[in-house]
Amino acid sequence: MLIRFWGSRGSLPVSLNTAALQEKLVKALVAAAGKGLDTEDKARAFIASGLDFPVSHTFGGNTSCVEIDNGTGEYVICDLGTGVRVFGNHLLDMHGHQKTNTFHVFMSHMHWDHIMGFPFFTPAYLPGNRIRIYGCHEALEHAFRRQHAAPSFPVDYDRLAATIEFVQLKAGRPYDIAGMTVTAMLQAHSGDSYGYRFQRGDKSVVYSTDSEHKLADPRETEAFISLFRDADLVIFDAMYSFAESVSVKEDWGHSSNIVGVELCQMAGAKRLCLFHHEPTSDDERTASIWRETQRLEEITRTDAPLEIIAAYDGLEISI
């Protein structure tokens, strides 16, 4: 399976501003001094290997949208944040407007940052496309219709030409969808959210965002260990520092890198992907959290290594 991150940012879309871009250029130019980069190919090679990650990359600013490419030819998407606009446009660039597709969309919940990309998802406007939106919330369809309604958006939901279906799931029950076994689990978040485990053969991916872990109830911890058990990849809400998540931002519905590492270690997961990055964190800050998390895994490791990854818009992970 191939996992593509179209949107990795939490809560609110952000963009790299001029000051941040110029700071990257300053660092890159200083690092390149004396390297004889007199052709574009040499410069590209240097960018690929000679610069620190937050200088050569940006984590990006689109809100939650992750694609699970399982090779079946149908598209599987987690959440419809602003990243889905880029995903939709990419498909049209690749295949044009004529090719129709089936999309399976799994919604963690309907907070704005997780649905706000849908009005800009061009395949929804094209007849012949089929979009099945799965979720455990009763108000799933209502949230999408309301977002399209005046005065919030100029194109009413009923003018979308694709065939759109809403499919109610029950948490804890396995479903066979798009060639995978999919199981949803209730998570602690304002208005509830749901994490998903996707299993295809011996490969498994967990998408668990917008989830607070109170740590007070061992049964809750055991339930998450079960959801994450032996997963090849766990995509995890690591928006806050642990200190924030249990103090000033308690009950804000998000988690930390510390809890992500612990749950994955206890579950024997292979990879932890830090996700739903705090919108006020710049690339340096997010990269620093990534490095610290790698270090935490190293010093607390008691079994097989857990690979620590930080999501960024454009990242692909093969499992």
Partner 1 sequence: MHLTERRIGNALVLAASGRIDHASAEDFKTALQPHLLQCKTGGDVVVLDFSGVQYISSVGLRVLMLAAKQTKSQGGAIAVAALQPVVKEIFEISKFTLVISCFAGVRDALAQLSPSALAAYGSA
- In the complex, the residues that contact partner 1 under the rule CB under 8 A are 213, 215-216, 218, 221, 241-244, 246-247, 256-259, 262, 266, 292-293, 295-296, 299-300
Nearer to partner 1, 54 or 117 (CB): 54
Least Å from the CB of residue 179 to partner 1: 36
Nearer to partner 1, 39 or 302 (CB): 302
Tokens encoding 7: 């949107």
Nearer to partner 1, 82 or 293 (CB): 293
Least Å from the CB of residue 291 to partner 1: 10
Least Å from the CB of residue 273 to partner 1: 18
Least Å from the CB of residue 12 to partner 1: 22
Say how many CA atoms lie within 13 Å of 251 toward its Cβ: 1
Least Å from the CB of residue 219 to partner 1: 12
Nearer to partner 1, 23 or 292 (CB): 292
Least Å from the CB of residue 53 to partner 1: 18
Of the candidates 318, 241, 242, which has an alpha carbon nearest to the alpha carbon of residue 286?
241
Least Å from the CB of residue 26 to partner 1: 28
Decide: residue 37, CB within 10 A, 0-12 exposed, 13-18 middle, 19+ buried: middle
Nearer to partner 1, 108 or 256 (CB): 256
CA dist 112 and 144 (Å) reads: 10
**Contact between residue 118 and residue 110 where contact means Cβ atoms under 8 Å apart:** no
* Residue 208: strand, helix, or coil: strand
Q: What are the DSSP calls for 124-170, one per residue?
A: GGSTT-EEEEEES-TTHHHHHHHHHSTTT-SS-GGG--SEEEEEE--
Nearer to partner 1, 69 or 220 (CB): 220
Give the position of tokens 């800050």: 285
* Residue 279: strand, helix, or coil: coil
233 forms beta bridges with 205
Q: Tell me, what DSSP letter sits at residue 23?
A: H
Nearer to partner 1, 235 or 259 (CB): 259
